[in-house]
């Protein structure tokens, strides 16, 4: 049996907490979610924090990031005719 990488766990938790923050008071099958105002705010912060951690753990190498930084301006220049000096 394989285990989930830490990056995926934080991503899933972030999605769940943001889901709770957005829906607020709702009934999902047999479970009723009613976090209140403070609970929704807390769920939003926990969800954003979890997604930020997932992004930090899953960051590609710096070489890939540099390639992306060089690629995007070239594509934008070709697409819209913009001139980046």
Q: Give yes or no for residue 82 having a pLDDT over 80.
A: no
Per the listing, tokens 């690629």 go with 71
Phi, psi of 31 (to 5 degrees): -100, 135
Helix (H) or strand (E) holding 38: helix 36-57
Q: Name the nearest CA neighbour of 14 among 42, 56, 57, 51.
A: 51
Q: Which two tokens stand for residue 15?
A: 């999605």
Region for 24 from its dihedrals, namely left if φ exceeds 0, alpha if ψ lies in -120 to 50, beta otherwise: left
Q: What is the pTM of this model?
A: 0.59
| Residues 76/82, Cβ–Cβ less than 8 Å | yes
Q: Which two tokens stand for residue 51?
A: 């997604």
Predicted local distance difference test score (pLDDT) of residue 45: 93
Q: In the chain, where are the structural domains located?
A: 6-80
Q: pLDDT of 16-41, one tens digit each?
A: 899 888 888 777 777 787 888 888 89
Q: pLDDT of 40-62, one tens digit each?
A: 899 999 999 998 888 877 755 55
Predicted local distance difference test score (pLDDT) of residue 49: 92
């Amino acid at each position: 049996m394989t285990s989930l990488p830490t990056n995926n766990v934080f991503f899933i938790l972030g999605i769940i907490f943001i889901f709770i923050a957005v829906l607020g008071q709702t009934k999902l099958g047999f479970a009723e979610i009613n976090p209140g105002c403070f609970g929704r705010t807390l769920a939003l912060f926990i969800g954003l924090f979890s997604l930020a951690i997932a992004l930090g753990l899953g960051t590609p190498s710096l070489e890939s990031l540099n390639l992306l930084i060089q690629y995007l301006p070239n594509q934008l220049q070709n697409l819209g005719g913009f001139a980046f000096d």
